[in-house]
Each structure stands twice: as structure tokens, then as C-alpha cells.
Amino acid sequence: MKSSKVILVTYPDDFIINEGKQLILSIPEYEIVKVFTQKYLNHSKYGMGSGKAEEIEKFVKETNEIEEIIVDEHLSSKQIYNLEKLIGIPVKDRERLILDIFYTRATTVEAKLQIQLAEIEYEMPRVREHAKLLSNSNERAGKGGMGEYIVDVQFRDLKRQMSFIKEKINDAKIKRNIYQHQRQKTGIPVVSLVGYTSSGKTTLFNLLTNEYKETSTNLFTTLSTTTRSFKVPHNNKNKEREGGVLIVDTVGFISRLPTYMIDAFKSTLEESLGADLILLLIDSAEKIEDMRIKYSNCMDILEELNVDKSKLFTILTKVDKIDTRMINEIVEKLEINSDVIAISSNTGYGIHKLKTLLMRKQFLETKYNENTNVKR
């Protein structure tokens, strides 16, 4: 595969630099040649300061191999335009990069629709801005002096596409709601796995349900929700109860995700967030500072999605990679105040405890009792 040499421009912060690199490298053909940092990326002309933009221009000219610049922040059309004009190669902002990653990953129809919706929301404010820029620089926005008209047509076209996609997403949602109702009718408890991207959700999901869904160190491996049943030991009788609980694997979270992207994925997440129990997975093998950032990011997103905190249960994953004596320290340092259980999907550590604890949770007990009563 042909590699594409890129530059990353980001903030001088280890967590942010690392995440920016990981995001870029999750598109296989990208190769990062150099990272430039800037304390502020909100200068009006280029996002970065003029001095930094000129430094990058010089580097690009000298090396003569860089194909793209990726700025790890939201940029306006104007800023992208100015940078491209100065440096002479394409510039991409953080949101465009995330959309590109989503594109390379989306497999289900619904995930594709969600991404198309996010893409339109990304484009909308830029259509007019872009037309203005072109007319200001004496290049005509549209053919034959009909710039304004063409922009209006593009805008209307995007709006039409948007409502069409929303309708289709809604259809998919109605279908899912029907399933959900059927589930509720049968009283089967639903447990969903949420958490930062790469925290190990799908690996745990596969282990519990004997599935083979794709897992990887790349960010955003999973882009659609999957629900399967799994066996849990039924406490009193202590025997396996086939299809006892439904488990839902979801799209991972990431920091600094713009609201319209969260919105676009809301319907994918809604099903999981209506679950009886939400397991929030945290990768315990990371630096405590990174864990803290990711944990608080997840909590913010869950808050934004109006999740009932009493349904939360925290799972520290990948504990095979750490000294288990660290577990208490992590819980304390992150100030986790929900129930916590440490697991490893690789070695099976804590998995039995997880299953058993799931069954001990009061609401699941109630559900089972209700269920048993119905049967009687």
C-alpha cells in the first residue's frame, strides 16, 4: 500500500499528542513525518500562529515529500483555505480526520448513514463560507457569475439529503425499538458495554458471547451496535441460564468529539443507554493521568446523553498488563464512586466474578424474579 506522508500539528501535551498520532495511524496509509506543537490553535488566520505556519511551509518545501497537514483541532473553511494557499498542500482538521476514520470502518448500513449525517453537518456551515472565500479572492463561486445561486442550490441539496438520511435512520431506529420492546416484554435484562475507544469492549463482548467481532489497537474499530445473549450463572440454582442476559457492544468514545458527532451516534447509543446496567470499561494499563482524562471524558459524554448514573458499574480492563496491587490505587485516584470490578479478557481474571456480580445486582434479581413469577 502506498504510504502518504503527513505532518501533525497539535498541542504541546503528551496525552493529546499521543491520541492525535493514534488517530492518524488508524488510517493505514498514513505515515507521520513530524509533529509540530502550538499552545493555541485558535488564531483567526491559520488556526496556528503565522510564525508556526511559515515554519511548516519552510519544512514542507525543504523536505518536498509531505502530502498533507493534519491539524488536531476544529478549523474553519477560511483557516484551511489560508493554510493551503500558504503551504500549497491539502490541510485536514480533526473532525475531517475522524470522519475519514469512520468511513474506513463503517460496515453496517446504519453506521454508514450516521456518518453521512455527521458529514453533512460538517459541510453545512462551510458551504457559504467557502463561496465567500472564493468570491473574495476573485475566483468565482460557481460558473457564469451565478455563485450565490449555486451556493443556495448546494445548501438546499445538503438539507434535502439530511432529512432523507434522518428519515432512514429513524426507520432503523423504529425497527430497533420493536426489538427492544420484544426484549422488554420477555423481561430479559440488557447490559451494555460502553467506554473509551480501545478500552476492550469488543474483546469482552466476544469472550462473553463466543462472537468473533473485530478487535484491534486501532481507534474506532467498532462503529455499530451489536446485541447478543450470553450465559450467566443463575445464582440460586447455580446453573447456566441460556440466553439469560443480552449484552450490547457499542461505539467507543473519544475526547473533544464535537456535539454534532455525538448527536449523529446518539441513536446508535440510545439502545445501549436504555439498558438495565451499563458497564463502563476503562483500560487499566494506561498512565494514571491518561486514565483520568479518559474516565472524565466518558462521564461527560454519559452526562450529555442523560444516562442514569445509578445504572453504572465500572470495569477496569486488561489487568493482566498491570500489578493487581495497583487496582485500589486506580479506583482511588480516579475517584470512581460506582461499583468496580477488575478483569482481563485475555487471562479470564475476574470474569467469573463479573458474571456473578451481574446477577447479584438488585435490578437483575428483580427482573429474574419477575420473570420467574410470570412463568409460574
Ligand X SMILES: Nc1nc2c(ncn2[C@@H]2O[C@H](COP(=O)(O)OP(=O)(O)OP(=O)(O)O)[C@@H](O)[C@H]2O)c(=O)[nH]1
Size of the site for Mg ion (CB under 5 A): 4
Pairing of strands 68-71, 30-37: unpaired
Label residue 318 exposed, middle or buried (CB < 10 Å: 0-12, 13-18, 19+): buried
Min separation Cβ 151 and ligand X, Å: 37
Min separation Cβ 152 and Mg ion, Å: 41
Task: Mark 288-317 with x for binding to ligand X (rule: CB under 6 A) and - for no binding.
Answer: -----------------------------x
Which parts of the chain fold into alpha helices (H)?
14-25, 50-63, 77-87, 94-105, 109-136, 147-186, 201-209, 259-273, 288-304, 326-334, 351-360, 362-375
Checking phi first, is residue 292 left (phi over 0); if not, alpha (psi -120 to 50) or beta?
A: alpha
The count of residues in the chain is: 376
Closest residue (Cβ) to ligand X?
A: 252
Residues 134-163 binding ligand X (CB under 6 A) are none
Name the one residue in this structure whose C-alpha cell is 420467574.
Answer: 372
To 10 degrees, what angle do helices 109-136 and 259-273 make? 170
**CB count, 10 Å around CB of 334?**
20
| Residue 96 binds which entry of ligand X, Mg ion, none, CB below 5-8 Å type-dependent | none
| Residue 256 binds which entry of Mg ion, ligand X, none, CB below 5-8 Å type-dependent | none
| Residue 217 binds which entry of Mg ion, ligand X, none, CB below 5-8 Å type-dependent | ligand X
Nearer to Mg ion, 130 or 201 (CB): 201
Min separation Cβ 322 and Mg ion, Å: 21
Min separation Cβ 229 and ligand X, Å: 19
Residues 213-242 binding Mg ion (CB under 5 A) are 221-222
Q: Is residue 219 a contact residue for ligand X (CB under 6 A)? A: yes
Nearer to ligand X, 102 or 368 (CB): 102
Task: Mark 316-355 with x for binding to ligand X (rule: CB under 6 A) and - for no binding.
Answer: -xx-xx----------------------xxx---------
Q: Is residue 38 a contact residue for ligand X (CB under 6 A)? A: no
| Residue 216 binds which entry of Mg ion, ligand X, none, CB below 5-8 Å type-dependent | ligand X
Min separation Cβ 205 and ligand X, Å: 7
Nearer to Mg ion, 5 or 112 (CB): 112
Query: With contact defined as beta carbons under 8 Å apart, do 117 and 162 qualify?
Result: yes
Nearer to ligand X, 244 or 350 (CB): 350
Task: Mark 72-101 with x for binding to ligand X (rule: CB under 6 A) and - for no binding.
Answer: ------------------------------
Min separation Cβ 159 and Mg ion, Å: 33
- Specify the DSSP class assigned to residue 321: G
- Specify the DSSP class assigned to residue 48: B
SS3 at position 170: helix
**CB count, 10 Å around CB of 227?**
20
Q: Give the residue, chosen from 38, 79, 116, 202, that forms a contact with Mg ion under the rule CB under 5 A.
A: 202
Nearest in space to 313 (alpha carbons), one of 274, 352, 283, 281: 281
Min separation Cβ 273 and ligand X, Å: 16
Min separation Cβ 110 and ligand X, Å: 16
Query: With contact defined as beta carbons under 8 Å apart, do 75 and 91 qualify?
Result: yes
Q: Is residue 222 a contact residue for ligand X (CB under 6 A)? A: yes
Which parts of 143-250 fold into alpha helices (H)?
147-186, 201-209
Task: Mark 189-218 with x for binding to ligand X (rule: CB under 6 A) and - for no binding.
Answer: ------x-xxxxxxx-----------xxx-
CA distances from 42 to 39, 46, 50 (A): 9, 8, 12
Query: With contact defined as beta carbons under 8 Å apart, do 225 and 272 qualify?
Result: yes
Checking phi first, is residue 262 left (phi over 0); if not, alpha (psi -120 to 50) or beta?
A: alpha
Report the interface residues with ligand X, using CB under 6 A. 195, 197-203, 215-217, 219-222, 252, 317-318, 320-321, 344-346
Report the interface residues with Mg ion, using CB under 5 A. 201-202, 221-222
